[in-house]
Amino acid sequence: MLRLWRYFGSERKRLILIFAFVIATSLLAVAAPYLIGSAIDAMSAADDGGVDFGLLEIILLVLVAAYVSEGVLSFLQSWLMAGLSQRVVKQLRGSLFGKLQKLPLRFFDSRSHGELMSRVTNDIDNVSNTVSQSTVQLMSGFIGIVGSLIMMLVLSPLLTLATLITVPLVYLLAKFVTSRTGVLFKEQQAQLGKLNGHIEETITGLQVVKAFNHEAKSIQQFEEVNGKLLQVSLKAQIWSGFLMPLLGVINNIGIATIAIVGGVMAVNGHLSVGLIASFVGYSRQFVRPLNEMAQIYNVLLSGVAGAERVFEVLDEKEEEPDAPGAIVLSNPKGHVVFENVNFGYRQDVPILNNVSFDSPKESSTALVGPTGAGKTTIVNLLTRFYDVTGGRILIDGRDIRDYTRESLRLCFGIVLQDTYLFSGTIRDNILYGKPDATEEEMLQASRMANADAFIRRLPQGYGTELTENGGNLSQGQRQLLAIARVILAKPSILILDEATSSIDTRTELHIQEALLKVMKGRTTFIIAHRLNTIRDADAIMVIDRGKLQEKGTHDALMERRGVYYGMFDQQFKNVQT
């Protein structure tokens, strides 16, 4: 909760103003029952025991004034609070998103998107509810309790004592209930998280679920978790549900006590009727905030839990900041050197083992090898999605950790195995590579990637809106867009990670022509399984089990009759049979 306070930052002055309003309205609310009691007493205050109209009028005028100012102040207060709470929430949401931008890829790879989503949305939402509703309620509740207590004490200490019997009851009850619900709510959240995980997975993979007739089993799994969730949440509900009605009952016990004790005292002439009326009002004001707190208890709990989950992300280790004095890589030439590079995504599973190579500028290097050999990992290291665990990587003669990340990544153009397109028009997606490109440049890039033809066939051409991840395009078409995007960005180092694996070979031929043009004057890394796509590379590196096995041109490697030869031979045999 304290950390949340920081997000109020510049709003603190306004918040103090709001709290001043809250205090004022609460005090006015506290004054009202007293005024009502005095009004009733004024009705028998005249010398003959009749109504003292002069006094009554004055009291009522004061009461009207109190009510009006209470109304105005509470309006102002909620008006200000609406603006303030939403600004705070926006800021919190913004800083969470900003944080997501700074986290390393490792973070995203090891977490399900659904779970992260729910932090940015649900949890922030919970915090928002807490901030906008609960803070004011808590504040006014507190003042209400204290104010009422003071007024009661002033009016009649004895009757106050009688009313206060209920306080220990409230305290014990609240403590008893919350100690149980706390645990139960936590458990409930955990089960809910599990359930949501299952939901997300099943729905994303629904095609497989259906193809394998796994609906029944998946539903059964769902039922299991759902059943557990039901058990826990039922208990949590029942326990937390007891709090409110019981507080209501305690409220009534308070009134009954006042009636009895007050009644006895009034009969004995120690107390006026108006005083009893005021007291009933106060005892209600005294218990009502407690009541309200019981209601907002759930909101509050989930708000706190939400804040915790949000801060958990905010506390994650960020992508290591650029080294002090990191330099901007400008006009990169694209000379890449790996020196004894070691790396593993997990400590116990090494992926790359002492890999060294030198790719001069404007050369093309192909990486081949069986799946899982570590080809994509090399790309991940080069772009600093991950940092090496041993050795170093040099670009233009300097360790890449000496450059600012931004300038480093700007010199790469990557076409990945799985393309990702954003919702928006096709034009927006191509321009993603270079937002300030002219229409002509954009069209040129698209033509170069052989995407122009199919885009023009679409009803809205370049203005076609893509659905999430370009679901309305075929996988090959998506890849063409991704390639156009990179062509437009004109990077000095080009990385093609299985870029054409899902494009048919006829189209691939056209693209390769285009890529050849783009590759000219650029250092290029090509990852491919199909050896025909890489034969013209300046150097071919065969990687297997995290080690660089062979390196050389196609002809040299063929002559060597080593691993590459074997692979090529296999492919060739395939053709022959």
Partner 1 sequence: MPYGRYIRKYWKSFLLAILFVTIEAGADLMMPTLLANIIDEGIAEKDMNHVLQMGGLMLLITAMGAVAASIRNVVASHVSQKFGAELRSDLFAKIQSLSFDSMNQFDRGSLITRLTNDVTLVQNFLNGMMRIFVKAPIIGIGALIMAIRLNWNLSIILLVIVPIVIVLVALNIRIGFSRFMNVQKSLDKVNATVREYLSGVRVVKAFNRFDYEEERFEKSNEEQRARSTNAMRAMSIFNPAIMLTVNFGIVTVLWLGGRWLNADLLPVGHLVAFVNYMTQILFALMMLTMVFTMFIRAKASAQRVGEVFKQENGMTWREEGEWGGETGGSAGAKGSIGSIEFRNVTFSYGGEQGSPAVDDATFACRPGETIGIVGSTGSGKSSLVELIPRFYDADSGEIRVGHTDIRELDPSALRERIAIVPQQTMLFTGSIMDNIRWGKEDATDEEVVEAAKLAEAHEFIQRLPEDYQSLLGQRGVNLSGGQKQRISIARALIRRPDILILDDCTSAVDMVTEARIKSALKTYAQGMTCLLIAQRITSVMDTDNIIVMDQGKIVDKGTHDELLERCQVYQEIYRSQIGKELKTDVV
Using CB under 8 A as the binding rule, the residues of this chain from 363 to 392 that contact partner 1 are 368-372, 376, 383, 385
Q: Exactly one of 178, 389, 417, 425 binds partner 1 (CB under 8 A); which one?
A: 417
| Residue 212 binds partner 1, judged by CB under 8 A | yes
Distance of CA 59 to the CA centre of its chain: 54
| Residue 242 binds partner 1, judged by CB under 8 A | yes
Contact call for residues 465 and 424 (beta carbons, < 8 A): yes
In the range 83-102, which residues lie near partner 1 by CB under 8 A?
83, 85-87, 89-90, 93-94, 97-98, 100-101
The nearer residue to partner 1, 44 or 549, going by C-beta atoms, is: 44
**CA 546/CA 362 separation, integer angstroms:** 25
In the range 248-267, which residues lie near partner 1 by CB under 8 A?
248-249, 252-253, 255-256, 259-260, 263-264, 266-267
Question: Count of H helices and E strands in the chain?
Answer: 23, 12
User: In the structure encoding, which two tokens stand for residue 397, read together?
Assistant: 């003669």
In the range 294-353, which residues lie near partner 1 by CB under 8 A?
295, 345-346, 348-349
Q: Exactly one of 3, 113, 456, 561 binds partner 1 (CB under 8 A); which one?
A: 113
| Residue 237 binds partner 1, judged by CB under 8 A | yes
Q: Exactly one of 1, 20, 72, 150 binds partner 1 (CB under 8 A); which one?
A: 72
159 φψ region: left (φ > 0), alpha (ψ -120 to 50), beta (else): alpha
In the range 463-522, which residues lie near partner 1 by CB under 8 A?
467-469, 471, 474-477, 485, 489, 498, 501-509
Q: How far is the CB of 391 from partner 1 (least distance, A)?
A: 20
In the range 556-575, which residues lie near partner 1 by CB under 8 A?
566-567, 570-575
| Residue 54 binds partner 1, judged by CB under 8 A | no
**CA 479/CA 466 separation, integer angstroms:** 14
| Residue 420 binds partner 1, judged by CB under 8 A | yes
| Sequence-distant (≥ 6) Cβ neighbours of residue 294 within 8 angstroms | 174, 243, 244, 247
Q: How far is the CB of 64 from partner 1 (least distance, A)?
A: 6
**CA 163/CA 286 separation, integer angstroms:** 10
Contact call for residues 163 and 152 (beta carbons, < 8 A): yes
3-state class percentages of the chain: helix first, strand second, coil last, to nearest 5: 65, 10, 25
Phi and psi of 459, rounded to 5°?
A: -55, -40
H or E element, residue 560: helix 554-560
Quick one: which segment of 3-11, 152-160, 247-255, 309-317 binds partner 1 (CB under 8 A)? 247-255
**CA 322/CA 335 separation, integer angstroms:** 21
Q: How far is the CB of 153 from partner 1 (least distance, A)?
A: 21
| Residue 183 binds partner 1, judged by CB under 8 A | no
Q: How far is the CB of 256 from partner 1 (least distance, A)?
A: 4
Phi and psi of 395, rounded to 5°?
A: -125, 130
Q: How far is the CB of 88 from partner 1 (least distance, A)?
A: 10
The nearer residue to partner 1, 235 or 360, going by C-beta atoms, is: 235
Count, residues near partner 1 per rule CB under 8 A: 175
**CA 283/CA 155 separation, integer angstroms:** 12
The nearer residue to partner 1, 100 or 314, going by C-beta atoms, is: 100
User: What is the distance between the terminal CA atoms of the chain, rounded to a whole angstrom?
Assistant: 71
| Residue 10 binds partner 1, judged by CB under 8 A | no
The nearer residue to partner 1, 283 or 365, going by C-beta atoms, is: 283
Contact mark string toward partner 1, 428..467, x via CB under 8 A? ----xx-x------------------x------------x
Q: How far is the CB of 473 from partner 1 (least distance, A)?
A: 8
Contact call for residues 525 and 335 (beta carbons, < 8 A): no
**CA 568/CA 573 separation, integer angstroms:** 8
Q: How far is the CB of 133 from partner 1 (least distance, A)?
A: 9
**CA 384/CA 104 separation, integer angstroms:** 9
Q: How does strand 364-368 pair with strand 412-415?
A: unpaired
Q: Exactly one of 54, 109, 171, 521 binds partner 1 (CB under 8 A); which one?
A: 109
Q: How far is the CB of 381 from partner 1 (least distance, A)?
A: 14
The nearer residue to partner 1, 149 or 276, going by C-beta atoms, is: 276
Tell which residue, 357, 292, 277, has the closest CA to residue 547: 357
Helix (H, G, I), strand (E, B) or coil at 296: coil
| Residue 190 binds partner 1, judged by CB under 8 A | no
User: In the structure encoding, which two tokens stand for residue 406, read together?
Assistant: 């931004």
Q: How far is the CB of 146 from partner 1 (least distance, A)?
A: 20
**CA 135/CA 89 separation, integer angstroms:** 13
